[in-house]
Amino acid sequence: MLCLGIESSCDETAVALVRDGRLLGQRLASQVDVHALFGGVVPEIASREHLRVLPGLYRALLRDTGIAAEEISCVAVSRGPGLLGALLIGLSFAKGLALSLGVPLVGVNHLHAHLLAAGLERDVPFPALGLLVSGGHTQTYAVRGDDDFRLLGRTLDDAAGEAFDKAAKRMNFPYPGGKLLDELGREGEADIAMFPRAYIDNDNLDFSFSGLKTAMVNHVNAHPHLALPCLGGLEDISSDVRKELAVVCASFNWSIAETLRIKTERALRRVPDARALIVAGGVAANSMLRRVMGDLAHRRGVELVLPSLDLCTDNAAMVACAGERLAKAGRFHGLDLEAVPRGRKVPLDWLSAPA
């Protein structure tokens, strides 16, 4: 089976081809430079950029791989959650292709696709515990198969990635600032008393990072010299300020990683038959989180499954991978497939046969 994947849920436009679990090629257009001017993603601009670049990416992918459009067996597309306008661009393009090629359409849950992404690189043992950490979501799942995800815990307010981005923005780091915060944090030693571990004094599996984000903002407000004098101007600060800033970044990084570890370990106790711990999403590229989760998996005797860094961020390879697996399991959608914005549950409304 040859599956075309289409991703347009936020600010990355991507198309990919996967055949029998193997990635044949991917084309991706990032909008980071466009949104950096505003310090965050502007939904209307994101939608226009998807509309502008998607047809060209599709043609370039076919040219790169030497595959004719008629060889495509099914079209998979991120249907949500995400920015509604951005999702609709990808969804409309996918429907048009599926209709013109006469092939099945598969709507993919963007979050589930993140957790299945590592399947392009290795076998993922089930049952597993999945930790999804991104700019918009922080969730844990009991994953028992390609189409069997049970939500265990979710963020009640700010996601971990959002806390990273807002903290970085307060320090005048260029967008997206989470990567620079992680890199700078490697230069310092974490002060574990500097920031709280967020929302852990309970027995549930939900997350809340708004208080931790506020603590970081208040710390910078009280020490205004920690904010860069100009956007991205690390070269304009003294070595002493850089050392202090590195400690702050390391401490904030540690608080988020430790919070995620505590909740994930709690979730592992609720899924005693889990054979693996899957960590996915944009924040799964964070170096401290990868190290902390590696230690946790080792202690708990489960296999750690981490996608490569390229598969942590939004991409179409994961959509094609998930779509192909769903299609092989007989999961399809009709042309009435709806986009699902962030904040709404993605329904399990599959058809039993191709429309």
pLDDT score at 233: 65
Mean pLDDT (whole number) for 331-354: 91
pLDDT tens, residue by residue, 259-291: 999 999 999 999 999 999 999 999 999 999 999
135 annotated as belonging to a binding site for a ligand: yes
336 annotated as belonging to a binding site for a ligand: no
282 annotated as belonging to a binding site for a ligand: no
Q: Report how far residue 3's alpha carbon sits from residue 331's, in angstroms, rounded to the nearest whole number.
A: 13
57 annotated as belonging to a binding site for a ligand: no
Give the side-chain half-sphere CA count within 13 A for 291: 9
Is the CB of residue 110 less than 8 Å from the CB of residue 313?
no
Q: Amino acid letter at 219? A: H
Q: Please give the domain boundaries of the chain with CATH numbers for all domains.
A: 2-117+311-352 (3.30.420.40), 126-306 (3.30.420.40)
* Cβ atoms within 10 Å of 143's Cβ, excluding its own: 24
b (16+ CB within 10 A) / e for 239-274: eebeebbbbbbbbbbbbbbbbbbebbebbbeebeeb
pLDDT score at 45: 95
Mean pLDDT (whole number) for 197-211: 94
34 annotated as belonging to a binding site for a ligand: no
132 annotated as belonging to a binding site for a ligand: yes
User: For residue 354, is pLDDT > 80?
Assistant: no
Nearest in space to 90 (alpha carbons), one of 110, 65, 72: 110
pLDDT score at 232: 63
pLDDT tens, residue by residue, 60-70: 999 999 999 99
Q: Report how far residue 138's alpha carbon sits from residue 276's, in angstroms, rounded to the nearest whole number.
A: 18
Q: Report how far residue 87's alpha carbon sits from residue 13's, in angstroms, rounded to the nearest whole number.
A: 10
178 annotated as belonging to a binding site for a ligand: yes
User: For residue 27, is pLDDT > 90?
Assistant: yes
Is the CB of residue 11 less than 8 Å from the CB of residue 29?
no
pLDDT-based confidence at 352, cuts 50/70/90? confident
User: For residue 155, is pLDDT > 90?
Assistant: yes
286 annotated as belonging to a binding site for a ligand: yes
The residues with which 76 forms a beta bridge, in sequence order, are 5, 106
User: For residue 110, is pLDDT > 90?
Assistant: yes
pLDDT score at 276: 98
pLDDT-based confidence at 15, cuts 50/70/90? very high
Mean pLDDT (whole number) for 12-22: 97
User: For residue 322, is pLDDT > 80?
Assistant: yes
314 annotated as belonging to a binding site for a ligand: yes
Q: What is the pTM of this model?
A: 0.93
Is the CB of residue 328 less than 8 Å from the CB of residue 1?
yes
pLDDT score at 263: 98
User: For residue 184, is pLDDT > 80?
Assistant: yes
114 annotated as belonging to a binding site for a ligand: yes
pLDDT-based confidence at 35, cuts 50/70/90? confident
Q: Report how far residue 351's alpha carbon sits from residue 302's, in angstroms, rounded to the nearest whole number.
A: 35
pLDDT tens, residue by residue, 229-263: 876 667 778 889 999 999 999 999 999 999 999 99
